A and B are shown apart, each in its own frame.
Chain A
């Protein structure tokens, strides 16, 4: 783990402390510095790919990554709103008539952390819910709320869209 990344990790821990306590007095800041150093010593191995147990790996930090993230957030919030709206419409419709189904989607995201990220995103986007993940084969089992209108191919292409967006975020 490079010096810059260590400082970035410590600064984000410190920012979390400040936003949780909401105080900027000297005493609170001193305790925060001590606590973030302690937490840093506990967790830094998780982000370091060279060590045993470094499962998460360290994301590269840079301008392009930051811009990708800034473009990603509004898209994601819009998707979440759309999902909420569609489920609400189905719930308030005069007659509940659902044709749900479970489909299997093969994904080719490179590592486990982006696979978990993808599974979470699928749950939060319209009409789909991740039921299970096969980590060894990179298969996702997705429960679709209403298959009748859209069909499995549309769901698959939606998910590969998401995959491409995550690839831009993580690679």
Chain B
């Protein structure tokens, strides 16, 4: 049983590490700020969730497990808000999306006085 738990938490942590790595690669390779925010939000929060769940499974005491679950919850609550604030501020400062095929936000902004 203990071997299985170790295996499961190692698997989750390695998978989370892979996603964190992929999100960093995405941050470097994606063309503009909005797509980079995509990489920084989704891939990173998924990776962090997996790592934190792995830590929670393996934690030696219940305090450690509860704390890593709390960190995961705060992560989920704050990460989308931060990405929304970043991308909105960028748009309002006139950074145009790269290679866009459709931009209904710009049209809606122009309609306003």
Contacts and interface: CB of A to CB of B under 8 A. Distances in A.
A binds B: yes
Given A123-B83, A131-B91, A80 B45 contact: yes
A58 B25 CA distance: 43
Interface string B80-111: 11011001100100000111111111101000
Contact of A87 (B43, B50, B91): B43
B38 A145 contact: yes
Given A123-B41, A145-B38, A84 B103 contact: no
A145 B104 contact: no
Main secondary structure of the interface of B (DSSP, over half): helix
Given A92-B25, A101-B103, A124-B76, 18 more contacts: A19-B70, A20-B70, A22-B62, A80-B42, A84-B19, A87-B39, A87-B42, A87-B43, A91-B30, A100-B99, A100-B100, A103-B102, A104-B108, A129-B83, A131-B87, A132-B91, A132-B105, A141-B104
User: 8 tightest A-B contacts by CB?
Assistant: A84-B46, A91-B26, A22-B63, A88-B22, A101-B102, A123-B80, A104-B104, A19-B66
